[in-house]
Copies of this chain bind each other. A is one copy, B any other.
């Protein structure tokens, strides 16, 4: 139900959060996140437009997370690339349903609300700080770099 774009954007941002405040080239991002480079470039554009990442020029340049990982939620990332569209009006355009969704669309909207809620409740910092054997994007033990600022084993 989550598109490839959403999956890739989350990988990209989790990677940048782990590397923050350092910038990473799209080549580095693509390698770790296993996202095709062209696809990744488009996603980075979307994330930049939403103010989640910015591009730095020069030596050590590349893409960098524009905010504190503790201030960015999964929902922020999803909404930056493919907004969750709540059902606010009858999709059939029925006049009588304009102000009040029918039980079918109310149920569908409730499910969307549950997803929003779950994604709003989790920050990138939490994703990275959670003690687990499976470190996001990393096949093996938690490396020194793949930690959140001021947290982790590093």
Question: Shortest beta-carbon distance, A121 to chain B, in Å?
Answer: 9
Contact yes or no, A92 B137, CB < 8 A: yes
Contact yes or no, B1 A85, CB < 8 A: yes
**A1-B112, A114-B115, A114-B118 given; A97·B134 CB < 8 A:** yes
List A residues 97-154 near B (Cβ within 8 Å).
Answer: 97, 100-105, 107-108, 110-112, 114-115, 118-119, 122, 126-128, 130, 132-140
Contact yes or no, A100 B137, CB < 8 A: no
- Inter-chain CA distance A139–B100, complex, in Å, is 12
Q: Does A95 contact B (CB under 8 A)?
A: yes
- Name the B residues within 8 Å of A137 (CB-CB): 92, 94, 102
Identify 21 residue pairs between A and B in the complex whose beta-carbon atoms are under 8 Å apart, listed by A's number. A1-B112, A7-B91, A33-B92, A74-B107, A74-B108, A92-B137, A94-B137, A94-B138, A96-B133, A97-B139, A102-B132, A102-B135, A102-B136, A102-B137, A103-B126, A103-B128, A107-B122, A107-B127, A110-B118, A111-B118, A114-B118
